[in-house]
Amino acid sequence: MVKVPVFKGSCTALITPFCEHGIDYERYAGNLDFQYENGTAAVVVCGTTGENATLQPNEREELVRFTVNHTHGRMKVIVGIGSNDTQAALRNAENAKAAGADAVLMVTPYYNKSSQTGLIRHFTFVADRVDIPMILYNVPSRTGIGITAETYCALSKHPNINGAKEASGDISLAVNTRSRCGDDLYLWSGNDDNTVALMALGGLGVISVASNILPGVISKLCSLCLENDFAGASALYQKYAQLFGALFIETNPMPVKAAMRLLDMDSGILRLPLTDVSEENLAILRALLRESGLNV
């Protein structure tokens, strides 16, 4: 069976606009429309950037349903389901499928770290039980455990495992994985600063934080890469490279929410334990937004 990639191009890892009493759905709907109007191919809801760790179960289910209904097929909807409890990840996947999501994004288990054998069993347990495309999520800087090329290869044989969000920053791992898996496992960059490099190696796009504020730019960047215009893509990337880096000057999504507020795109409050960025880093963000030609 030939696997069809969940999406090609730019996918935004959406922030969640929290208010004092829950989620501001009016603001969230505006964010979704902004993404569609600027060429975004897919969105991730309930991901790291969406502060998934502090979403209550009822909020998560409501947020997924709202996203699917409001998007109404205009963009692919991918739901973060990751957990360090395999059964919880399964429940999240079942709820995502029931809500009409197009795919799920499943991060490696954190805190109670597993072996590579445990990773294979963790992902396979869910993929065996919910018939929905799964994107693996490798971000060892957050979870403390990474997926090896050998493990990627073993998982790529599962018909429901569609690809991987590679956020390790390890380009050699991406090369090794592509050579082992080919199109049995599609790759997307999980870091804005790796997008051009990973797409030059056969990646199909990016799951982006920066596209919360620059959806048109990230969409264009991916289009240039998909058209094999890597000179043009590199030039566009260099224009925003420092800003991309600054969006991780503190823990994501603290900086991107601050940047959105500076751009008059109110992103709502952060939930503890996340807090507002420091005044020093806010000044850095403000300067780089202005240098990038954005109206602050």
| Residues with active-site annotation | 137, 165
Rounded to whole angstroms, how far apart are CA atoms 46 and 288? 28
Residue 208 identity (one-letter amino acid) = S
Rounded to whole angstroms, how far apart are CA atoms 76 and 4? 13
CB-based contact 165:194 (threshold 8 Å):
no
CA neighbor of 274 nearest in space, from 261, 260, 255, 288:
255
CA neighbor of 167 nearest in space, from 149, 145, 148, 194:
194
Residue 245 C-beta-side C-alpha neighbours within 13 Å? 7
CB-based contact 288:242 (threshold 8 Å):
yes
Burial state string for 106-121 with b = 16 or more CB within 10 A and e = fewer than 16:
bbbbbeeeeeeeebbe
Both tokens of residue 61? 């289910």
Radius of gyration of the chain, Cα coordinates, nearest whole angstrom: 18
CA neighbor of 15 nearest in space, from 228, 241, 193, 253:
253
CB-based contact 195:166 (threshold 8 Å):
no
Both tokens of residue 178? 């592509």
Partners of 205 in the beta sheet? 9
Rounded to whole angstroms, how far apart are CA atoms 193 and 131? 32
